[in-house]
Amino acid sequence: MERRVRVRFAPSPTGPLHMGGVRTALYNYLFAKKNNGDFILRIEDTDQTRFVPGAENYILEALAWCGFQPDEGPQNPGKYAPYKQSERKHLYKQYADQLLEAGLAYYAFDTPEELNEMRDRLKAAKVASPQYNAITRNSMKNSLTLSEDEVKNRLDNGDPYVIRIKIPRNEEVRFHDEIRGWVVVHSSHLDDKVLFKSDGMPTYHLANIVDDHLMEITHVIRGEEWLPSAPLHILLYRYLGWVETMPKLAHLPLILKPDGNGKLSKRDGDRLGFPVFPLQWEDPENGSISSGYREKGYFPEAFVNSLAFLGWNPGTEQELFKLDELVEAFSLERVGKAGAKYDADKTKWYNQQYLRKKSNQELADLLAPIIEKTGWNTNNIDLLAYVDLMKERAVFVEDMLEGSYFFESPTSYDEKTISKKWKDNSAEIVNKLIEVLNNIQDFTTENIEKDFKAFLEKESLGFGAVLPIFRVFITGLGMGPSMFAICSLLGKEESLKRLNVGLEKMHGK
Ligand code: GLU
> Which pLDDT tens digit goes with each residue over 155-185?
999 999 999 999 999 999 999 999 999 999 9
> Which pLDDT tens digit goes with each residue over 77-109?
999 999 999 999 999 999 999 999 999 999 999
> Which DSSP string corresponds to 341-352?
E--HHHHHHHHH
152 catalytic? Reply is: no
> Rounded mean pLDDT of 426-434?
97
Q: How many residues does the chain have?
A: 509
pLDDT value at residue 118: 95
∠ CA 204-205-208 to the nearest 5 degrees?
75
Query: What is the CA(151)–ligand 1 centre distance, in A?
Result: 33
- Protein residues with CB under 6 Å of any ligand 1 atom: 10-12, 44, 204, 208, 220, 222, 226
CATH of domain 415-507: 1.10.10.350
Mutation to probe ligand 1, out of 8, 85, 222 (largest number of atoms < 8 A from CB)? 222
pTM, to two decimals: 0.92
Distance CA 195, CA 202 (A): 6
Distance CA 406, CA 380 (A): 9
Distance CA 329, CA 316 (A): 10
Which of 412, 393, 395, 396 is CA-nearest to residue 485?
Answer: 393
Lowest mean pLDDT among 22-31, 63-72, 402-411: 402-411
Distance CA 369, CA 381 (A): 15
Q: What are the residues whose beta carbons fall under 8 Å from the beta carbon of 431, sequence distance 6 or more?
A: 503
Q: What are the residues whose beta carbons fall under 8 Å from the beta carbon of 372, sequence distance 6 or more?
A: 378
Among 3.40.50.2000, 1.10.3720.10, 1.10.260.40, 3.90.800.10, name the CATH number for the domain at 92-252: 3.90.800.10
Distance CA 200, CA 208 (A): 16
Distance CA 428, CA 424 (A): 8
Q: Is the pLDDT of residue 379 over 80?
A: no
Contact 509, 422 (CB under 8 A): yes
Atom of ligand 1 lying closest to residue 208 CA? 9
Contact 428, 455 (CB under 8 A): no
Mutation to probe ligand 1, out of 204, 209, 224, 227 (largest number of atoms < 8 A from CB)? 204
∠ CA 62-63-67 to the nearest 5 degrees?
120
Q: Cβ–Cβ contacts within 10 Å for residue 18, how many?
A: 20
pLDDT value at residue 296: 96
pLDDT value at residue 501: 97
> Which pLDDT tens digit goes with each residue over 190-225?
999 999 999 999 999 999 999 999 999 999 999 999
Decide: residue 208, CB within 10 A, 0-12 exposed, 13-18 middle, 19+ buried. Answer: buried
> Rounded mean pLDDT of 11-36?
97
Q: How confident is the model at residue 128 (pLDDT cuts 50, 70, 90)?
A: confident
pLDDT value at residue 49: 86
Average pLDDT, the chain: 96
Residue identifier of the C-alpha nearest atom 2 of ligand 1: 11
> Which DSSP string corresponds to 379-430?
TTS-HHHHHHHHGGG-SSGGGGGGGGGGTS--SS--HHHHHHH--TTHHHHH
Q: Is the pLDDT of residue 489 over 80?
A: yes
Distance CA 212, CA 206 (A): 10
Lowest mean pLDDT among 55-69, 160-174, 306-320, 391-405: 391-405
Q: Is the pLDDT of residue 151 over 80?
A: yes
Atom of ligand 1 lying closest to residue 8 CA? 8
∠ CA 81-207-239 to the nearest 5 degrees?
120
Which of 386, 383, 396 is CA-nearest to residue 353?
Answer: 396
Distance CA 30, CA 28 (A): 6
Q: How confident is the model at residue 48 (pLDDT cuts 50, 70, 90)?
A: confident
Annotated catalytic residue: which of 266, 341, 432, 492? 266
pLDDT value at residue 106: 98
Contact 150, 142 (CB under 8 A): no
* % of the chain exceeding 90 in pLDDT: 92
Atom of ligand 1 lying closest to residue 222 CA? 8
